[in-house]
Amino acid sequence: MTASYDVIVIGSGAAGLTAALALAETRRVLVLAKGSLTGGSTAWAQGGIAAVLDAGDTFEDHIRDTMIAGAGLNRLETVEFVIENAPASIARLIDLGVPFNMDRDTLHLTREGGHSHRRIVHVDDATGWAVQEALLRAAEANPNVTMLPGRACIDLITGRNAAKYSGSGRVWGVYALDEATGKVEAHVARATVLATGGAGRVYQFSTAPRGATGDGIAMAWRAGCRVSNMEMMQFHPTCLYNLETKNFLITEAVRGEGGHLINPSTGERYMAKYDPERMELAPRDIVARANDDQIKRFGLDYVHLDISHQPAEFVKAHFPNIDEKLTSLGIDMTKEPIPVVPAQHYTCGGVLIGLDARTDLPGLWAAGECTESGLHGANRLASNSLLECFVFGEAAASDILAAWDEMDDPPAIREWDESRVTDSDEEVVIKQNWTEIRRMMWNYVGIVRTTKRLERAAHRIDLLAQEIEDYYGSFRVTTDLIELRNLHQCADLIVKSALKRHESRGLHYILDYPETDPVARDTVLIP
């Protein structure tokens, strides 16, 4: 089947649906999503969305906090663009019906690490779910938006098989696997927006959902887009340590509302040693490294996050969902500390885009966690990510609409060729390689790095390349195979980028180069 719409949006999270709704004012939009429409990170976001909304706060302060967290690698024009557009984004979400918490007649603002001011709007401790629901409601009600879940996109359709970022590979849509029928369809349009989220699942321990396998980053790279700063992988300091529930986040707002980090063996509130001024509210890279250091130095399984000194009603009112989850696991956060460990959380690098959300390829725009827009630099400031999705989702839509008349209609596109593949009889290969990549990335390309470990990782990735490509070339695609190929591609991009950076900066902390260079430079990989 070849379906034709004006614009294809790949991804139904905050970035994709924001773009789709803005485009749908005049264009027919097709939204494709792997698995369910709520399968991305957006639905899982807890803490909230950062925006300057309080009279005592300023854009300058938010910009400064973002640049400090980002260790100077951020692009100032992007930081200004996003932060100055934040209040308008929040206003649009309120119009869509997102029920943000109120403090009498003003929005309640919570606090998170690295923010010099209370500036996080939120819906209890489940902001993402409320945002996802509101965006989906609006998209479902819009006759110009068609949403197809259960479509795992495989590769972008390019005018030529672009090998360089020269702009020669005009994008005309995407080949996608219909997960229900097993058939591959070509979806064709004048413009395509990538909004596929991050690559967190490349690590063994991650707060991200199962589908965060970097598909958009890998597809864009194969089509000919540059990617940048892929070594900047953010680890969240406080993921619940529990043998049954492996990736449940304990929001940074718990520390924002007074939670302490304690060494369970010594009882010490150890952040005083690592960042005496900001303590538990230091930027995430510092707190995650401190937790990692305590765990390794004392041979611990976890550290403690303790908010039990706050009144029980306060804790329950601020964190109802976390409280409910912990209670179901036998932990009473109002009375006892929560066992936590660091885990991969956010992909700061990605497909390089400009302020108009354009990628290197004509016909292809990108927004959200799959991109490197210049906002986050070497470390994302808490709650700046959903904000980036809203601002760049809008930016992509307005640029596409402005460029509409200059764009040609798509040419005839060849159907997916399955003549040389058969059904796989060795699914175990996928499972084995997937597990191997994730464990290797955790052990060799984690919070603290060395050149030797990165080189070992590069060697393993090279060895796996042939096996995965042979498998991909021989068997009918499945979602697992598509994801494995992309995970491997992203692992390769992360390790290559990490090996190129000969300094420690933000999230890239490497023992062989402990100093930070005087000048901040992006790591840009060219296909």
User: Which listed residue (12, 18, 46, 523) binds ligand SIN by CB under 6 A?
Assistant: 46
Catalytic residue among 170, 201, 226, 284: 284
For residue 34, the partner it binds in ligand SIN, ligand FAD, none, with Cβ less than 5 to 8 A by kind, is ligand FAD
Q: Is 90 in the site for ligand FAD (CB under 6 A)?
A: no
User: Which listed residue (35, 159, 258, 354) binds ligand FAD by CB under 6 A?
Assistant: 35
DSSP tag of 377: T
The one-letter amino acid code at 513 reads Y
Angle at 287 between CA 74 and CA 280, to 5 degrees: 110
| Burial status of residue 55 (CB atoms within 10 A of its CB: 0-12, 13-18, 19 or more) | exposed
Q: Residues 6 or more apart from 278 whose CB is under 8 A from it?
A: 113, 114, 286
Tell me, yes or no, if 501 is annotated catalytic. Answer: no
Give the integer Cα–Cα distance in Å for 422 and 74.
47
Residue ranges in 378-407 that form contacts with ligand FAD under rule CB under 6 A? 383-386, 389
User: Which listed residue (6, 8, 11, 89) binds ligand FAD by CB under 6 A?
Assistant: 11
Q: Is 45 in the site for ligand FAD (CB under 6 A)?
A: yes
Half-sphere exposure of 207 (CA within 13 A, CB side): 28
DSSP tag of 200: G
Q: In Å, what is the CA distance from 339 to each residue of 442, 447, 459?
A: 20, 19, 35
Number of H helices, E strands in the chain: 14, 22
Closest CB to ligand SIN among residues 46, 347: 46
Residue ranges in 194-223 that form contacts with ligand FAD under rule CB under 6 A? 195-197, 207-208, 211, 215
The distance of closest approach from Cβ of residue 180 to ligand FAD in the complex, given in angstroms and rounded to an integer, is 14
Asked if 149 contacts 38 with a C-beta cutoff of 8 angstroms, the reply is no
Q: Is 285 in the site for ligand SIN (CB under 6 A)?
A: no
For residue 208, the partner it binds in ligand FAD, ligand SIN, none, with Cβ less than 5 to 8 A by kind, is ligand FAD
Residue ranges in 80-99 that form contacts with ligand SIN under rule CB under 6 A? none
Residue ranges in 309-368 that form contacts with ligand FAD under rule CB under 6 A? 346, 368
User: Which listed residue (13, 259, 337, 374) binds ligand FAD by CB under 6 A?
Assistant: 13
User: Which listed residue (20, 30, 42, 187) binds ligand FAD by CB under 6 A?
Assistant: 42
CB atoms within 10 A of CB 501: 21
Helix or strand run (H / E) with residue 89: helix 76-95
Helix (H, G, I), strand (E, B) or coil at 160: coil
Residue ranges in 252-281 that form contacts with ligand SIN under rule CB under 6 A? 252-253
Q: Is 251 in the site for ligand SIN (CB under 6 A)?
A: yes
Phi, psi of 87 (to 5 degrees): -60, -35
Among the listed ranges 33-41, 81-89, 90-98, 448-456, the one in contact with ligand FAD (CB under 6 A) is 33-41
For residue 488, the partner it binds in ligand SIN, ligand FAD, none, with Cβ less than 5 to 8 A by kind, is none
Residue owning tokens 């001011």: 117
Give the integer Cα–Cα distance in Å for 236 and 288.
6
DSSP string covering 386-439: HHHHHHHHHHHHHHHHHHGGGSPPP---PPPP-TT-B--S-THHHHHHHHHHHH
| Burial status of residue 387 (CB atoms within 10 A of its CB: 0-12, 13-18, 19 or more) | buried
The distance of closest approach from Cβ of residue 8 to ligand FAD in the complex, given in angstroms and rounded to an integer, is 10
User: Which listed residue (7, 8, 9, 14) binds ligand FAD by CB under 6 A?
Assistant: 14
Q: Is 385 in the site for ligand SIN (CB under 6 A)?
A: yes
For residue 15, the partner it binds in ligand SIN, ligand FAD, none, with Cβ less than 5 to 8 A by kind, is ligand FAD
For residue 173, the partner it binds in ligand FAD, ligand SIN, none, with Cβ less than 5 to 8 A by kind, is none
Residue numbers of the site for ligand FAD (CB under 6 A)? 10-16, 32-35, 39-42, 44-49, 127-128, 151-153, 195-197, 207-208, 211, 215, 249, 346, 368-369, 383-386, 389
Known catalytic residues?
284
Residue numbers of the site for ligand SIN (CB under 6 A)? 46-47, 251-253, 382-383, 385
